[in-house]
Amino acid sequence: MLHPAPGTEPSGSFRAQLLVPGPMVGSRRLGHFDGRWIVRQGLVVTAVTVHHP
């Protein structure tokens, strides 16, 4: 799911739901990744972070 940010450059946030069991981080299993995306000069760049307790 993409959520465009307001402004002139195409960018925003996204959530990637995992179709298989995700990794264990601390004592919890991840079910999705949240991240950001941007488009510049014909390239799409994405980034996700995982907070470790």
Band of pLDDT at residue 53, cut at 50, 70 and 90: confident
Task: Quote the pLDDT of residue 1.
Answer: 67
- Reading the block at residue 8, the tokens are 């002139």
Band of pLDDT at residue 2, cut at 50, 70 and 90: low
> Whole-structure pTM over 0.75, yes or no?
no
10-36: pLDDT as tens digits: 999 999 999 999 999 999 999 999 999
User: Look-up: residue for tokens 């946030």?
Assistant: 13
- Reading the block at residue 36, the tokens are 């950001």
Question: HEC profile for 1-53?
Answer: CEEECCCCCCEEEEEEECCCCCCEECCEECCEEEEEEEEECCEEEEEECCCCC
Task: Quote the pLDDT of residue 52.
Answer: 81
With vertex at residue 37, the alpha carbon angle to CA 52 and CA 49, rounded to the nearest 5 degrees, is 5
